[in-house]
Copies of this chain bind each other. A is one copy, B any other.
């Protein structure tokens, strides 16, 4: 299950945790309020062994936290709750939702709507600058930070013009 060494690309590192089948759907259900094994199992229709495995991975990665709970007249069982790290995945899910709604419509309209809690005004995912301006995606560029610059196989292909190229 473990990678030899964690990759330098943040997307790849995120996908190490989130990239397996069912994982993001488990997180989505957690955002909808699911906490128990049986809730995840029935809403997702996922096999128990896979669910066990994914919950363990997520707990391990600090996305979910295992807690004991007890309903009266029942023994202690465990439940799963989003941690700070898990809650921080909301933009990831929202971005996926937004893309799915826009480019893979279901014909039933959006299944989830994000809105401001106080005003109920709809919100969307966007790029913003530190001073709070909204920047359109086409006005955003990506440059390689320090992590990708030293010895990554990725760079070898670009080596003889890589730095000029990066400003493209």
A: which residues have CB within 8 A of B? 6-19, 21, 24-25, 28, 31-33, 39, 42-43, 45, 61-62, 85, 87-104, 106, 108-119, 121-135, 137-148, 150, 153-154, 157, 165, 168
B10 with A104: CB separation less than 8 A = yes
- CB contacts (< 8 Å) of A132 on chain B: these are 133-134
Copies of the polypeptide in the assembly = 2
A139 with B126: CB separation less than 8 A = no
B14 with A94: CB separation less than 8 A = no
With beta carbons under 8 angstroms apart, the residue of B21, B91, B92 that contacts A126 is: B91
If the complex has contacts A113-B142, A129-B116, A129-B121, are A100 and B135 also in contact, measured as CB distance less than 8 A? no
